[in-house]
Structure 1
């Protein structure tokens, strides 16, 4: 009887990649939610502190740009608040994490089946159907950056090598992918922080 170990091995690899990518997506969205919360709190605190400092004798701020700066902070708080209220980063993160956990459990079962010498075609088809069912049970999919970050983290693993037998990413490519992944969850928040800090320094 024909063995389908190669098909099962490919399935195991695909499940591993999908689960890893969704773990990365979950982590990225969770960080995005936390950074949004912290940024709103920071802008609100600065927005309250600046008028107080302006009115106190502790630190004199007499810049004519103070009203503009305060308005900008209020606008940023409003925009970020609207984005957060209409987004579901935390919920999406939880769903992706739970789906990744299911895929990891499924991969463990595939590992056990792979140890069997005789794997039938029917069993392969059943496993492929179950994989698609678990994968599609999550309405949110991971982004390409989550997959590329997974590859970057496992670039030395031979399972992910290309057809030429070499890593899919060079060391430099992996380095920039890691930076892009880190900025994906906090890049524009850092920009907002920079604007608020440099704006405060400017009005001093």
Structure 2
């Protein structure tokens, strides 16, 4: 408590802005990486499903015998639906555009953090400079046009548990798994379902 009472207004402002920008910077980087990976796995999944459709056509053409004569038609419709949904999702989400914006935003905040280090001596004359940086920080956030999600912040907590005293190892593992499932979960299911259904009902 004594340390808190001895802090000058400049020191308090410095600590608050430093922590806020540090958290936002890393959360933006995590969000950028998540969206970049989603873009890649989305393209990969569309390619795999297209290969499934091609193989299905070849199997039907060359007389591969199946017990259920409707399996080819059903599988073709299912694959076409998956490919259409993924293509529309990729086109509407613009994962790479959002990823780039968040990455640039993270870089801009990093530059502000570097400038903030000039005002770490706690002098009263630093207050105006810190407030000016805070205003520029707000402008950077508004100019970004994108925002990170809670899952990106939670991953940061898992990555830097020593900086978040309220986080235990189990919660950190859960946040990491949740982050990975957010990226790959849907696409894994879409890749696995078609061959499983075909094999089950062939």
Q: TM-score normalized by structure 1?
A: 0.87
- Distance (Å, rounded) in 1 between the aligned partners of 2:52 and 2:173: 35
Q: Is the 8 A contact 1:3 1:119 kept in 2?
A: no
Structure 1 partner of 2:88: 82
1:113 positional shift: 2.3
Who is 1:122 aligned against? 128
Distance 1:71 1:3 in 2: 65
Matched, 1:182 2:188: no
The corresponding residue for 1:49 is 55
Please give the secondary structure, in 2, of the residue aligned with 1:137.
Answer: helix
Corresponding position: 1:192 with 2:190 = yes
Alpha-carbon contact 2:155-2:176 (below 8 Å) kept: yes
Which ranges in structure 2 are unaligned for 5 or more consecutive residues?
1-7
Aligned equivalents of 1:123, 1:61: Cα separation in 2: 76
Is 1:40 aligned to residue 40 of structure 2?
Answer: no
**Corresponding position: 1:143 with 2:141:** no
Shift of 1:116: 6.7
Q: Is the 8 A contact 1:102 1:134 kept in 2?
A: yes
Secondary structure at the counterpart of residue 144 of structure 2: coil
Number of equivalent positions: 193
Residues 61 and 203 in structure 1, CA contact (< 8 A), matched pair in contact too: no
What is the RMSD computed on CA atoms of the aligned residues? Answer: 1.7
For residues 79 and 130 of structure 2, what CA distance do their matches in structure 1 show? 57
Instruction: Structure 1: give runs of 5+ residues left out of the alignment.
Output: 161-166
Distance between the aligned counterparts of 1:42 and 1:105, measured in 2?
41
